[in-house]
A and B are shown apart, each in its own frame.
Chain A
Amino acid sequence: MNQYPAWKYLLVILVLVVSTIYALPNLYGEDPALQVTSTRTAQVDITTQEKVQKLLTEAGIRYDSIGLSDAQLLVRFADTETQLAAKDVVKKGLGRGYVVALNLAPRTPDWLVSLGAAPMYLGLDLRGGVHFLMEVDVEAAVRQAEERYISDFRSLLRENKVRYARIARYSNEDVESDGLARSGVEIRFKSAEARDQAEELISGEYPDLELKTDDRADGYYLLAGLDDKERREVRKLALKQNITTLRNRVNELGVAEPVIQQQGENRIVVQLPGVQDTARAKEILGATATLEFRLADETHDVQEALRGRVPPGLKLYPQREGGYVLLKNRVMLTGDYIIDASSGIDQQTGSPAVYITLDGKGASIFSKVTGENVKKLMAVVFIENKTETRMVDGKPKKVRHTVEEVINVARIQEQLSKRFQITGLDSTQEAHNLALLLRAGALAAPIEIVEERTIGPSLGQDNIDQGFLSVVIGFILVLAFMALWYRGFGLVANLALAMNLVVIVAVLSMLQATLTLPGIAGIVLTVGMAVDANVLIFERIREELRNGVSPQTAISAGYEKAFTTIADANITTLIAAVILFGFGTGPIKGFAITLSIGIVTSMFTAIMGTRAVVNLVYGGRRIDKLSI
């Protein structure tokens, strides 16, 4: 009686061995390291490695090891000071095109790495860093699309000589079923014929638009709007473009292992481990700055326009250095065509400048328009869109504002093409940021930070230490109690508890699930609750013994009878944990994960693990007394 078939012993041993191996990487600690990856334009290969080696040797910086893997270069250092010094040297030496980020590289030995073993993935609350939840104002993208149609319609109607009285964007506050206000473009005509003609033209050219006619007191209207499918597309595309842009910008910031993910329909999660300068991170991530090039008007009077009489086809813009300037409505070039930008100092004036490189299409457009307008004044307009949510009368409301400033007006001396420079910026820092933003691309729609959680490195380490301490102390208390209470069987339960901890750590490491502070709390809780299964079994055995059953029968009856109870009890806790996982965010998810894993693994270790040991000790022989 009470003997396991060989395969059950083997299974227990196998689980123990595999778990130990995969839990091992967590014991080795980490090295401060530099991680070099490439952006689109460059490549990390053996020549990069040689270059970095040369740079470090020249600067007299000692490194522990250097190695290439998965298109990234990892250089390890003895301490963080060397790491920081090395970052400056390498970043400067490699130039742009490379992302040089500080990182902590696990010291996992090669044989473990080759088995795919890695330490647990620590959440931001443990390793320090920034978590941003950004909301994309996707409606702004719809608005921009509508505004593009306005200029398209204008030229279409003009080309076909259809006379219209007014063309503008409208949006009514009635909220549609999808929770968004309906909007579109409305065109007013003086005659129904002109309107019908326009309708025919527009529906022929833009079959995807929804067109409606409306006869009102002041004229004949044609309403054009995006249909629902198109709106959804625009919103989706805006979100996708924003994710790409954010990824580029994060690369520019130099962050190791960033997370940039879509969440829901209009939100993006950005996690930057190790980043402390949140002010800069926010400035760079949230900025929507872009440039536009427009011709300036020299014939009309600015003073006149300031009094409200802006001539048709022109628009009044504030200048950064003060005053106003009239610019033509037509845009010569937008920032979308910029493929590279770098900051520097203008040789002649000594003021900060941004050097711009256009892509092929942009270059041909720009050389054409500048060629046609040599000796005329061209203005560089700096545009920034911001969206913020504020509480108005107890309800969140979106507030949008756009800042448009002319940073520079200069006469076109010659035909401009692929490369040119702009000046008029306040500081080198601004030139630097603008260059970065132009390089990384503009955001398709403004974004706003709706949640931020930053954990400093000292608090992260404190959290790890305190979490670890509470696991250890909780664990020791429970071990002591069980040994005292159940003696021999208590020791068996303790073995199972220790094994359970190893298995939890191994599973967390294998899944690379994020371990958070609440996650550690989940492990602590599991330690307390995992013994429950053993308590149930052991109490049952004692009860059987009290009823006068022989020790061997008591053992098997105890395990047998307690089993369904344990299963039922654990499944209900598991239900709570899974629901928590479904609804929780970030750290809470971490708690749900460790709790779920702990429940499942404890079932195995507390039932099968302890039974294996008990069977080995007592099984198959005559015994008179149990140590319980």
Chain B
Amino acid sequence: MQLFKQATNFDFMGKRKLAVAFSAVLLLISIGALATKGLNFGLDFTGGTLIELGYEHPVDLTEVRGILETEGFKEAVVQHFGTASDILIRIAPHPEQSNADISNRVMDLLNAHEDGKIDMRRVEFVGPQVGEELANDGGLAMIYALICILVYVGFRFEYRLAVGSVMALVHDVVITLGVFSLFQLDFDLTVLAAILAVIGYSLNDTIVVFDRIRENFRKMRKGTSEEVINVSLNQTLSRTVITSFTTLLVLLALFVFGGELIHGFATALLVGVIIGTYSSIYVASSSALMLGISKADLMPVVVEKEGAEIDDRP
């Protein structure tokens, strides 16, 4: 099977104004959401206590809230988790009480009001000092990743392409964050990891396109920069679409079957991969074009010794 029977010839770069407008709208919405709503930071970053319990029967949440309220856990957030017999309790860091054993006190309390057995499924407690550190480390990781990638791409390609790829990355990260902010999805450490994976993935896509652009700049004697980029995008189009498709397939599997704990992670990657595919076509290449990439920039200084041992190449 083939996606495109003939070699395609879409005029991607001709529509780049439209793409810029589209990206700008997405970015504005994202930044707007981040500025007004912010991210719904999970326990990893805010600190506090989270308890997941499994009852033997469906649970009435108001009853649980009532029990907790009478014992001084007024700010406890209680919700169903996955099924009606599983509940999730969140308790914000308490300024006056010992935080580390809140979970045990809650467990004792609920056990006292329950005849059957309550299955302790998960307890997470993050002290205030740790939450702050995790947030700082996460931010640092993101920045270091972007810098290292900028350096690598700059070294391997050309600075205009490097800037283009990082613009695409920033675009992807901001929009993915925007989605999390807009829908107020829980932003925890796994989501942060997913966003770093999105950076890797989106870049992967961009590099493939850039590689072809470089190759075509060297190969094609005629044609403007815009034409060369268009041809390159068309040549890599079916690959871009297919790889994104297989990745989306596995991510959907993860989203549907991976369980609640991995939900945010799968969501971030789903959003990121879709945006990343779009951005490697439109954002990265058109940024490079706008920065004035030309044939002369990509001509090899020394002629590389290529194709000398075709048979032995893996």
Chain A residues at the B interface, C-beta cutoff of 8 Å? 1-3, 5, 8, 125, 133, 135, 276, 278-279, 282, 286, 388-392, 396, 448-456, 458-459, 462-463, 466-467, 469-470, 473-475, 477-478, 481-482, 484-485, 517-518, 521, 524-525, 527-529, 531-532, 535-536, 539, 542-543, 546, 556-557, 559-561, 563-565, 568-577, 579-580, 582-585, 587-588, 591-592, 595, 607-608, 611
Report chain B residues within 8 Å CB of A125.
Answer: 261
Asked if residues B258 and A466 are in contact (CB atoms below 8 Å), the reply is yes
**In the complex, A560→B306 CA distance in Å?**
9
B36 at the interface (CB under 8 A from A): no
22 contacts between A and B (CB under 8 A): A135-B127, A278-B104, A282-B104, A390-B96, A453-B122, A453-B124, A454-B120, A459-B122, A470-B262, A482-B246, A518-B190, A518-B262, A525-B251, A532-B247, A559-B313, A568-B211, A572-B153, A573-B201, A575-B145, A583-B137, A585-B189, A595-B200
**In the complex, A133→B248 CA distance in Å?**
36
Asked if residues A528 and B189 are in contact (CB atoms below 8 Å), the reply is no
Assess A452 versus B311: contact at CB under 8 Å? Given A477-B249, A572-B153, A583-B138.
Answer: no
Report chain A residues within 8 Å CB of B281.
Answer: none
**Interface 1/0s, chain B 289-314, versus A by CB < 8 A?**
00000000000000000010011111
Asked if residues A579 and B262 are in contact (CB atoms below 8 Å), the reply is no
Report chain B residues within 8 Å CB of A286.
Answer: 100
B19 at the interface (CB under 8 A from A): no
Report chain B residues within 8 Å CB of A570.
Answer: 204
B74 at the interface (CB under 8 A from A): no
Residue of A nearest to B199 (CB): A576
Not counting A459-B121, A474-B251, a sample of 17 additional A-B residue pairs whose C-beta atoms are within 8 angstroms of each other reads: A279-B104, A451-B127, A451-B130, A456-B120, A458-B54, A459-B52, A470-B253, A473-B256, A517-B259, A518-B265, A529-B246, A559-B314, A565-B207, A575-B145, A575-B148, A579-B141, A580-B141
**In the complex, A510→B259 CA distance in Å?**
28
B22 at the interface (CB under 8 A from A): no
How far does the Cβ of B56 sit from chain A's closest Cβ, in whole Å? 12
Residue of A448, A572, A591, A611 with most chain B CB atoms under a 10 A cut-off: A572
Asked if residues B211 and A575 are in contact (CB atoms below 8 Å), the reply is no
Report chain A residues within 8 Å CB of B134.
Answer: 585
B1 at the interface (CB under 8 A from A): yes
B126 at the interface (CB under 8 A from A): yes
Asked if residues B193 and A478 are in contact (CB atoms below 8 Å), the reply is no
How far does the Cβ of B285 sit from chain A's closest Cβ, in whole Å? 15
Report chain B residues within 8 Å CB of A473.
Answer: 253, 256-257
Assess A532 versus B204: contact at CB under 8 Å? Given A539-B239, A571-B152.
Answer: yes
Q: How many residues of B contact A (CB 8 A)?
A: 88
Asked if residues B266 and A569 are in contact (CB atoms below 8 Å), the reply is no
Residue of B nearest to A393 (CB): B95
**In the complex, A563→B199 CA distance in Å?**
22
**In the complex, A59→B36 CA distance in Å?**
68
B62 at the interface (CB under 8 A from A): no
Report chain B residues within 8 Å CB of A557.
Answer: 310
Dominant secondary structure at the B interface? helix
Asked if residues A517 and B261 are in contact (CB atoms below 8 Å), the reply is yes
Report chain B residues within 8 Å CB of A456.
Answer: 54, 119-122
**In the complex, A592→B194 CA distance in Å?**
10
How far does the Cβ of A614 sit from chain B's closest Cβ, in whole Å? 11
Report chain A residues within 8 Å CB of B52.
Answer: 459
Report chain A residues within 8 Å CB of B7.
Answer: 543, 546
**In the complex, A587→B134 CA distance in Å?**
13
**In the complex, A459→B134 CA distance in Å?**
24
Asked if residues B251 and A576 are in contact (CB atoms below 8 Å), the reply is no
B144 at the interface (CB under 8 A from A): yes
Report chain A residues within 8 Å CB of B2.
Answer: 542
Of the residues A276, A450, A573, contact of B130 by C-beta under 8 Å: A450
Residue of B nearest to A542 (CB): B2
Residue of A nearest to B190 (CB): A518
Report chain A residues within 8 Å CB of B205.
Answer: 569
Asked if residues B204 and A529 are in contact (CB atoms below 8 Å), the reply is yes
B101 at the interface (CB under 8 A from A): yes
Asked if residues A485 and B126 are in contact (CB atoms below 8 Å), the reply is no
Of the residues A524, A531, A579, contact of B254 by C-beta under 8 Å: A524
Residue of A450, A466, A560, A592 with most chain B CB atoms under a 10 A cut-off: A450
Asked if residues B140 and A572 are in contact (CB atoms below 8 Å), the reply is no
Asked if residues A466 and B149 are in contact (CB atoms below 8 Å), the reply is no
Asked if residues B123 and A453 are in contact (CB atoms below 8 Å), the reply is yes
Residue of B nearest to A1 (CB): B311
Asked if residues B314 and A470 are in contact (CB atoms below 8 Å), the reply is no
Asked if residues A458 and B119 are in contact (CB atoms below 8 Å), the reply is yes
Asked if residues B250 and A527 are in contact (CB atoms below 8 Å), the reply is yes
Asked if residues B243 and A531 are in contact (CB atoms below 8 Å), the reply is yes
How far does the Cβ of B97 sit from chain A's closest Cβ, in whole Å? 8
Closest 10 CB pairs of A and B: A474-B250, A576-B200, A528-B250, A450-B127, A583-B141, A573-B200, A474-B253, A466-B259, A528-B247, A452-B125
